[in-house]
């Protein structure tokens, strides 16, 4: 990578080739249109049978023409008047959903909704309120139609193509998606940034050169709230909302890094990278040996909750375990959490052992009552060295509770750490502690994650 950018021509060739791969063809668009039309008709028929008014609106990337070729998600929202109460809304919504997708099943996000297949597409039928303004919303789904309306008016076919390039680029670098595992760029955020800058290339050039987080955009110039996020894009439909609230600093920085890469050396593999070669037991063993660290891993059955619950809990638990290890003197170099059938909290330690004794400072000698209490407590403790005086204080060297990180992790003291609630109960059902080269046993299930961990890319 250099500060010099490559020729325009190279860049345009690359994005043209990428476009070939991701732009939906006419036949794909036609099939999508037909499916949406059929589903909408079914939904309108079902609404007509209800005692309230309602309409159907297509939302999401397939509504805005910004979907990547091959995506098969159709999102239809059924809107009801604001004076329908919530229970009624849910029951009407499910009724329409089942009428449209007789084979569909119910799921639950903000409301219950029906999801199912139709003609090869994955269809969600979601009830919401029809409101005058996005600031009146009763739940997050009510906001979605406003987003679609806002972007419908601003995204033409050309800009939709630019959005697809940006989305694919973010997918390639692993920063696409506002789910709480990825904490990246949502589709809506991607679209707003392309509308703001006018093209994929302009976004990339700005990210490479001009962004100094916190970066702030307010397309409608109506924001009323200060946000503490690295990227702030005030929702054009809601002055109090940051569309990029979930986007982690690391993903903003990674966009900046890879934007520079793309401009310096345009190439398709940034959009379509090969997944990392999984690391086998031997590879893990070799890396642990050459780093001379002591990785310790807690492995347990992954809690049965959705990813948007799981990953925040894993991260919280990991931070808690790391902090407590460090408080006890077991300094960490780096950490990671993985989840599949099992879940893993990995803390790679620089210091896995401490002496049998630890320094414990008492009060200043001149604070007579406290000082005498401290002295009396330890003077006859045969396991303590001291009390002696250091500066103006009593000090003892007393027995350390845990001499190794593994002993701490295997003890009930683990539960004094702030753990995610489902992680805590999963640990209580049992867990393994892997120490040092024992972590090679993770390679079977998490070879790809271990490759990313031990051979990190930006």
List the binding residues.
Answer: 61, 64, 73, 75, 124, 147, 167, 176
State which of positions 231-290 bind a second copy (CB under 8 A).
249-250, 252-254, 256-257, 260, 290
Distances (CA, A) of 164 to 16, 306, 424: 12, 27, 41
Task: Please state, in angstroms and rounded to a whole number, the distance separating the CA atoms of residues 244 and 259.
Answer: 18
CB closer to a second copy, 21 vs 360: 360
Which stretch in 52-60, 135-143, 277-285, 352-360 sits in contact with a second copy by CB under 8 A? Answer: 352-360
Task: Compute the distance between CA of residue 322 and CA of residue 351 in angstroms, rounded to an integer.
Answer: 12
Distance, in Å, from the CA atom of 390 to the CA atom of 306, rounded to the nearest integer, reads 54
Q: Report in angstroms how near the CB of residue 384 gets to a second copy at its nearest.
A: 10
Restricting to residues 191-220, name those near a second copy by CB under 8 A: 208-209, 211-213
- Residue 73 CA, distance from chain mean position: 21
Alpha helices in 101-248 (DSSP H): 144-152, 157-172, 187-197, 200-209
Q: Which of 117, 381, 416, 455 binds a second copy (CB under 8 A)?
A: 455
Q: Are 123 and 101 in contact (CB under 8 A)?
A: yes
Are 389 and 396 a contacting pair, CB within 8 Å? no
Among 14-22, 58-66, 75-83, 358-366, which window interacts with a second copy (CB under 8 A)?
358-366
The CA distance from 421 to 32, in Å, is 42
Instruction: Please name the residue ranges forming H helices in 237-306.
Output: 249-264, 281-291
Q: Does residue 362 belong to the site contacting a second copy (CB under 8 A)?
A: no
Q: Is position 355 an interface residue for a second copy (rule: CB under 8 A)?
A: yes
Which of 240, 368, 381, 425 touches a second copy by CB under 8 A? 368
Contact between 385 and a second copy per CB under 8 A:
yes
Choosing from 82, 245, 365, 435, the residue that interacts with a second copy (CB under 8 A) is: 365
Q: Is 121 in the site for a second copy (CB under 8 A)?
A: no
Q: Are 337 and 343 in contact (CB under 8 A)?
A: yes
Among 19, 329, 377, 445, binds a second copy (CB under 8 A): 329
Does 382 interact with a second copy (rule: CB under 8 A)?
A: no
Give yes or no for residue 369 binding a second copy (CB under 8 A). Answer: yes
**Closest CB to a second copy among residues 138, 181:** 181
| Pairing verdict, β 393-399 and 385-390 | antiparallel
Of the two residues 151 and 262, which places its CB atom closer to a second copy in the complex? 262
Instruction: Centre a 10 Å sphere on the Cβ of residue 134 and count the other Cβ atoms it contains.
Output: 21
Q: Give the C-alpha distances (Å, rounded to integers) separating 415 from 46, 314, 319, 407, 433.
A: 52, 14, 13, 13, 14
Closer by beta carbon to a second copy, 163 or else 173: 173
- Count of positions on this chain that bind a second copy (CB under 8 A): 61
293 binds a second copy (CB under 8 A): yes
Residues contributing to the annotated binding site for ATP: 61, 64, 147, 167, 176
25 forms part of the interface with a second copy (CB under 8 A): no
Residues in 386-445 at the binding interface with a second copy, rule: CB under 8 A:
386-394, 397, 403
CA distance 453 to 458: 11
Q: Answer whether 56's CB lies under 8 Å from 101's CB.
A: no
- In angstroms, the CA 241 to CA 254 distance is 24
The correct pick among 50, 99, 351, 433 for binding a second copy (CB under 8 A) is: 351
Q: Quote the crossing angle between the two packed helices 421-428 and 307-327, to the nearest 10°.
A: 70
Q: Is 13 or 323 the residue whose CB approaches a second copy more closely?
A: 323
Which H or E run includes 61? helix 61-64
Q: Which stretch binds a second copy (CB under 8 A): 72-80, 193-201, 372-380, 443-451?
A: 372-380
Q: How far is the CB of 255 from a second copy (least distance, A)?
A: 9
In angstroms, how far is the first alpha carbon of the chain from the final one? 13
Residue 30 or 457: the one with the smaller Cβ distance to a second copy is 457
323 binds a second copy (CB under 8 A): no
Residue 171 structure tokens: 């997918």
Q: Does 456 bind a second copy (CB under 8 A)?
A: yes
Establish how many alpha carbons lie within 13 A of residue 147's alpha carbon, considering only the half-sphere containing its beta carbon. Answer: 24
The contact set with a second copy (CB under 8 A) reads 1-3, 208-209, 211-213, 230, 249-250, 252-254, 256-257, 260, 290-293, 329, 331, 333-334, 350-351, 354-359, 364-369, 371-372, 375-376, 379, 385-394, 397, 403, 454-458
């Amino acid at each position: 990578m250099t500060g010099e950018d490559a020729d325009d021509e190279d860049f345009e060739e690359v994005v043209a080739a990428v476009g070939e791969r991701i732009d939906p063809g006419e036949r794909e668009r036609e099939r999508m249109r037909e499916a949406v039309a059929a589903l909408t008709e079914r939904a309108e028929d079902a609404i007509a049978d209800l005692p309230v008014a309602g309409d159907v609106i297509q939302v999401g990337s397939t509504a805005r023409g910004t979907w990547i070729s091959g995506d098969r998600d159709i999102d239809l929202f059924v809107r009801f008047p604001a004076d329908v109460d919530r229970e009624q809304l849910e029951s009407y919504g499910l009724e329409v959903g089942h009428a449209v997708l007789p084979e569909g099943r119910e799921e639950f996000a903000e409301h219950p909704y029906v999801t199912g297949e139709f003609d090869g597409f994955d269809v969600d039928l979601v009830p919401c309120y029809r409101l005058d303004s996005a600031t009146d919303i009763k739940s997050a789904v009510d906001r979605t139609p406003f987003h679609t309306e806002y972007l419908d008016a601003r995204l033409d076919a050309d800009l939709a193509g630019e959005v697809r390039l940006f989305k694919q680029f973010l997918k390639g670098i692993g920063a696409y998606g506002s789910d709480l595992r990825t904490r990246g760029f949502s589709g809506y955020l991607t679209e707003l940034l392309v509308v703001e800058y006018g093209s994929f290339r302009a976004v990339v050039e700005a990210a490479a050169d001009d962004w100094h987080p916190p970066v702030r955009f307010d397309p409608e110039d109506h924001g009323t709230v200060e946000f503490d996020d690295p990227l702030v894009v005030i929702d054009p439909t809601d002055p109090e909302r940051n569309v990029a609230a979930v986007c982690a600093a690391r993903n903003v920085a990674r966009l900046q890094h890879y934007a520079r890469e793309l401009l310096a050396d345009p190439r398709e593999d940034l959009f379509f990278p090969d997944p990392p070669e999984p690391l086998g037991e031997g590879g893990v063993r070799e890396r642990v040996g050459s780093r001379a660290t002591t990785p310790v891993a807690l492995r347990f059955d992954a809690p049965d909750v959705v990813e948007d619950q799981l990953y925040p809990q894993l991260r919280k638990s990991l931070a808690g375990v790391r902090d407590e290890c460090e408080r006890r003197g077991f300094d960490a170099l780096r950490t990671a959490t993985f989840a599949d059938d099992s879940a893993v909290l990995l803390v790679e330690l620089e210091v896995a052992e401490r002496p049998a004794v630890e320094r414990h400072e008492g009060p200043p000698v001149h604070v007579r009552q406290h000082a005498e209490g401290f002295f009396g407590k330890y003077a006859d403790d045969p396991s303590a060295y001291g009390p002696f005086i250091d500066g103006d204080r009593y000090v003892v060297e007393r027995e350390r509770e845990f001499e190794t990180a593994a002993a701490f992790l295997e003890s009930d003291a683990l539960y004094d750490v702030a753990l995610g609630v489902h992680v805590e109960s999963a640990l209580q059902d049992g867990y393994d502690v892997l120490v040092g080269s024992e972590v090679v046993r993770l390679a079977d299930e998490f070879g790809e994650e271990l490759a990313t961990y031990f051979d990190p890319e930006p």
